Structure 1
Amino acid sequence: MDDKEILEKALEFHGHRCWASVAGVRVGLAALEKLGIKRSGGTQLYGIVEIGEEHGGMCFGDGVQYATGCTFGKGNIRKNPLGKLGFTLIEKDTNRAVRVVFTSTLQKQIAASKFMQQRAAGISPDEIPLEDQMELVELVWNAPKEEVLKIGEVFEYPGKWIPEVMGFKPCDRCGELTALAYLRVDGTQHVCIPCSGYDR
């Protein structure tokens, strides 16, 4: 897949076209390029995304996930909730890592766009006319890399990677399928966390 195809598929996955998801794609692709590696379909890579909760711009996380293949479903990405559009990508075999940040260069143009004016008026992003969505997508996608991305130097990440634990078993109390690593021993029973009474 070329970069433009990754962008198009990421926007389709995300559900609407917005500046933050495009920024996430650009940051993810830049991190891959800096490390000289390809998008992962497995768990060879690990990501740390710095978005938080309940703020405009969280869409950045979907762009990063699609671009790099680090996904919450595979468990090879986590949030460090700082409210920033920053992302650290780590190659687990070597612990080589890079942090990339989407900068504030375009913020005035983004804020003044028809898309953001409609969002501020409470219009859902997928109800905004396509041409207004695409105006913002093109603005962020076509901006020169050196103007919108702060790409750090490659560094060594002090990672200690726990191997994936495979397998599920029904909880001896409620019968619900539970990943083996999440079963707890209570007497002679192997039970899920809610049935065990433990917090975790």
Structure 2
Amino acid sequence: MCMEKSPWEKAIEFHGHSCPGLAIGYRVAEIAMKRLQEFRSADEELVAVVENDACGVDAVMLLTGCTLGKGNLIYRDLGKQVYTFGSRNGNRALRIAVNNTGQPDPEGAQLRKKVFGGTASPAEQVKFQLMQGRRIEEILHMPEEDFCQVREIDFSLPAKAQIFPSVECAQCGERVMEPRARLRDGKAVCLDCFNDYSRGW
């Protein structure tokens, strides 16, 4: 008999491996869905703004249903473990800032460096995996107030995703969405073929 996988197991399968970063995104998504009283977004009922491109974003996508393809996942390259979720149904939004979830001690940091550098012994690799497992369990089960700061915010939900016509780039011949095309010598070109003109402002 085949047992249904848990949401955490599905997140691991989607991401490719289990790690503390994935656990952070999983916990953030759980908190957001519970606080907003939302279910997984089938269309654009829920919007997520993520301020990093780390492992946790995969868990956010899987649990919330917010994806780039649907237009309800917005990526801001700020390098912060901060996530904003807006509900169109409830007209509410939350900003979740993850606290310091515990950095490895000096020994753990050195071990991590060896594992990712390919110089760790089999015993050291096992030790590292055990260390990672403990951190994952801590992240998934620590009290919410220790894990993050949650506050309700005023948030202007972005317009729903639109479908635009495409035009052919006069330079490379590839098709580009009309709002992303630029004019060069009176012809439409894609951003890759467009030589931007800037004088520093």
Give TM-score scaled by structure 1 length.
0.72
Q: Contact conserved, 2:36 with 2:90, CA < 8 A, in 1?
A: no
Deviation at 1:24, TM superposition (A): 1.0
Deviation at 1:47, TM superposition (A): 1.9
Change (3 A) 1:147 1:39: same
Change (3 A) 1:156 1:93: farther
The structure that has the greater radius of gyration is 2
Number of the residue aligned with 1:145: 144
Deviation at 1:98, TM superposition (A): 0.3
Distance in 2 between residues matched to 1:39 and 1:162, nearest whole Å: 17
Give TM-score scaled by structure 2 length.
0.71
Number of the residue aligned with 1:99: 95
Secondary structure of 2:170's partner? coil
Q: Which runs of 5+ in 2 are unaligned?
A: none
What letter corresponds to residue 67 of structure 2 in structure 1? T
Secondary structure of 1:100's partner? strand
Secondary structure of 1:135's partner? helix
The alignment covers a number of residue pairs equal to 186
Distance in 1 between residues matched to 2:180 and 2:7, nearest whole Å: 35
Distance in 1 between residues matched to 2:196 and 2:56, nearest whole Å: 34
Q: Contact conserved, 1:44 with 1:91, CA < 8 A, in 2?
A: yes
Number of the residue aligned with 1:20: 21
Deviation at 1:62, TM superposition (A): 2.8
Q: Does residue 119 in structure 1 map to residue 112 in structure 2?
A: yes
Distance in 1 between residues matched to 2:6 and 2:117, nearest whole Å: 25
Secondary structure of 2:159's partner? coil
1:20-39 matches, within 5 Å, as 20-39=21-40
Q: Which runs of 5+ in 1 are unaligned?
A: 53-57
Deviation at 1:45, TM superposition (A): 2.5
Distance in 1 between residues matched to 2:6 and 2:108, nearest whole Å: 23
Instruction: Show CA shifts across 1:70-110 (max 9, x none).
Output: 234544222251x4322111124665210122223x41xx5
Deviation at 1:151, TM superposition (A): 2.3
Change (3 A) 1:144 1:160: closer
Distance in 1 between residues matched to 2:67 and 2:42, nearest whole Å: 10
Distance in 1 between residues matched to 2:111 and 2:62, nearest whole Å: 26
Change (3 A) 1:122 1:73: farther
Instruction: Show CA shifts across 1:28-52 (max 9, x none).
Output: 1211211111222433332222337
Number of the residue aligned with 1:55: none
1:58-77 matches, within 5 Å, as 58-75=54-71, 76-77=73-74
